[in-house]
Structure 1
Amino acid sequence: MQLELRHLEAVCRIAEAGSLGRAASRLGVSQPALSAQLRRIERVVGGELFVRGRHGVEPTALGQFVLARARRVLSEMEELTAGARAVAPGTPLRLGCILLVLLDGLLEQIERELAGREITVDVEHSVTALARLLGSGRYDAVLYGEVNDHEVPLPEGVLARTLIPREPFCVRLPADHPLAARAEVELADLAEEPWMTLLEDDDGGPEALVAACARAGFTPSLRYRITDRKMHWDLIAAGRAVSVSQPTAPAAEGTVLRPLAGSPITGRIRLAWNRAAVPAAQAELLYRAAGRAYLAQLDNNPFHRAWWDAHPELHPDLG
């Protein structure tokens, strides 16, 4: 048997996972199959690559030697693939997103940063689907959000960078709501309201809303889940619901946006890309485009502009 890239990948995944069981799960194979493959690899290289330690499997001296070179080979292959995709004629950059506010200006910014490069952009309503499609090669990069402490699991071979580390979600109310005149709203004062649930149900948002309401002393009545933005706003304007929102969201007739006291729900925005398909330079350009698209929405709401200016440590590094 000769060593192949898949064998090097298996050795690296075992080292990263710290156990054969976790590595097998990440590779999508059974643990017995991975154990048998490791034994075949060890026969080729001439000795044991891992031994059981106090915290799982640990590489031997031979294992450290093989790992260092395996990582170098895999990195060079990823650079080769990414470089080939970048220069191949007629190869579009495939970007997947959830329905973030910054999408309204993202295409304009991408056209400036990656002038002349063909780009396709698709919107999904599931962060889990985005991550899965990134791993399967359907997308080259994805832009997504996470709420509070939730972290979206990403597939192997993917790099990620946080664009906006934290933004305090606000609440959208009917313009004639009794609380609309306040500068900020206490979550507890919304205990009797019907709620519009968040569009994504796997980014930690629903759990964060329920947990925040529980801390405020009530269980929210989750009445509607509407993916159409205009219908969403129309229902709120009609007094039929309230909803949490990104603080950069635009104005909508018949509604107002108000910050929630104490920022009980926060979000962050991240960019992830397949390192075998997107060179580092292009990932940097995508990051800049998304960052500038976000900044272009800051003045939609004066309360968020004031908050943002008071937190320069959260600003994206746009060079």
Structure 2
Amino acid sequence: MQLELRHLQAVCRIAEAGSLGGAARRLGVSQPALSAQLRRIERVTGGELFVRGRNGVEPTALGQFVLAKARRVLGEMEALGAEARAIATGTPLRLGCILLVLLDGLLAETDRSMSGQEITVDLEDSVTALTRMLGAGRYDAIVYGEVNEHEVPLPEGTLARTLVPREPFCIRLSAAHPLAGSDRIELADLAGESWMTLVEDDDGGPEALVAACAKAGFVPSLRYRITDRKMHYDLIAAGRAVSLSQPTAPPAAGTVMRPLAGSPVTGRIRLAWNRSAVSAGQAERLYRAAAQAHLANVANHAFHKEWWDAHPEVHPLLD
């Protein structure tokens, strides 16, 4: 038997999972089948690659040597696929996004920065759907958000980079609302309002809103879930609802945006990509395009521009 890429992948998965059972689940095979495959691999390499320890299986000295070589070979193969796709003509880069403010400017930025490569962009309501389709190869890269401490699990074979690590959500409310003239709003003062539910329900947002409201002493009335921006804004302008909002969101007639005291809900924006489909250079250009699209909206509201200037640690890395 000669070692193949699938054998190297199996060895890496066993090391990552720390157990044969966990690795078998990741690989989609039975544990006995993986055990038999490992024994065949060990016959080729000349000795045991793993021993059972207190916390599962651990690589032997030989195992560590094989793992280092396997990771290098698999990395080279992934880079080969990504760089070949980058060079090939007529191969569009498939980008998936959730409804982030930066999406409006992202297309123009990618057109400028991606050297004429065709890019297709699809919008999804679910972060889970985005990551699942990234793992299945439907998307080559995704741009998504996470709220407060929530972390979205990413499929194997992907890399991720944080665009904005922390940014406080604010409140959009009617310009005729009694609190519209406030410089900053206490969340408890919105206890009697009807709320727009965040469009995404699996990025930690709904849980963060409910938890913040509970801390403020009330349970929010989550009455609306509207994906159409105009209808969303019209309901707020009419005084029928208030909504959490990214602070970079554009102004809308009849509404105002105000910061929340204490910043109880914050958002994070990330870029993830499939290592075998997106080269390092493409990932860097995507990152810069998304960063420029985000920066274009930072000054939409004076209170957020002031906050942004005071927190350089959250700025995208563009040097």
Q: State the TM-score bracket (shorter-chain normalisation).
A: over 0.9
Q: Which amino acid is 2:101 matched to?
A: V
Q: Which residue of 2 aligns with 1:269?
A: 269
Gapped runs of 5+ residues in structure 2?
A: none
Q: Which residue of 2 aligns with 1:168?
A: 168
Pair 1:21-2:21 in alignment:
yes
C-alpha displacement at 1:42, in angstroms? 1.9
> In the TM superposition, what whole-angstrom CA distance separates every residue of 1:137-174 from its partner, at most 9, and x where no partner exists?
11111000000000010011100000000000001111
Q: Which amino acid is 2:83 matched to?
A: G
- Between Structure 1 and Structure 2, how many residues are aligned? 319
Q: Which residue of 2 aligns with 1:202?
A: 202
CA distance in structure 1 between the aligned counterparts of 2:231 and 2:91, rounded to whole angstroms: 36
Q: Which amino acid is 1:316 matched to?
A: P
> Cα RMSD (Å) of the superposition?
1.1
Q: Which residue of 1 aligns with 2:149?
A: 149
Q: Which residue of 2 aligns with 1:158?
A: 158
CA distance in structure 2 between the aligned counterparts of 1:219 and 1:167, rounded to whole angstroms: 24
Q: Which amino acid is 1:30 matched to?
A: S
CA distance in structure 1 between the aligned counterparts of 2:26 and 2:218, rounded to whole angstroms: 39
Gapped runs of 5+ residues in structure 1?
A: none
Q: Which amino acid is 2:216 matched to?
A: A
Q: Which residue of 2 aligns with 1:86?
A: 86
CA distance in structure 2 between the aligned counterparts of 1:258 and 1:105, rounded to whole angstroms: 23
C-alpha displacement at 1:48, in angstroms? 1.4
Q: Give % identity.
A: 79
SS at match of 1:180: coil
C-alpha displacement at 1:193, in angstroms? 0.7
SS at match of 1:233: helix
Q: Which amino acid is 1:152 matched to?
A: V
CA distance in structure 2 between the aligned counterparts of 1:83 and 1:74, rounded to whole angstroms: 14
Q: Which amino acid is 1:225 matched to?
A: R
Q: Which residue of 2 aligns with 1:300?
A: 300
CA distance in structure 1 between the aligned counterparts of 2:308 and 2:100, rounded to whole angstroms: 18
Pair 1:216-2:201 in alignment:
no
C-alpha displacement at 1:227, in angstroms? 1.1
> In the TM superposition, what whole-angstrom CA distance separates every residue of 1:55-102 from its partner, at most 9, and x where no partner exists?
221101111111111111101101110111011110011111001000
CA distance in structure 1 between the aligned counterparts of 2:312 and 2:63, rounded to whole angstroms: 44
CA distance in structure 1 between the aligned counterparts of 2:160 and 2:270, rounded to whole angstroms: 7
Give the TM-score of the pair, scaled to structure 1.
0.97
Give the TM-score of the pair, scaled to structure 2.
0.97
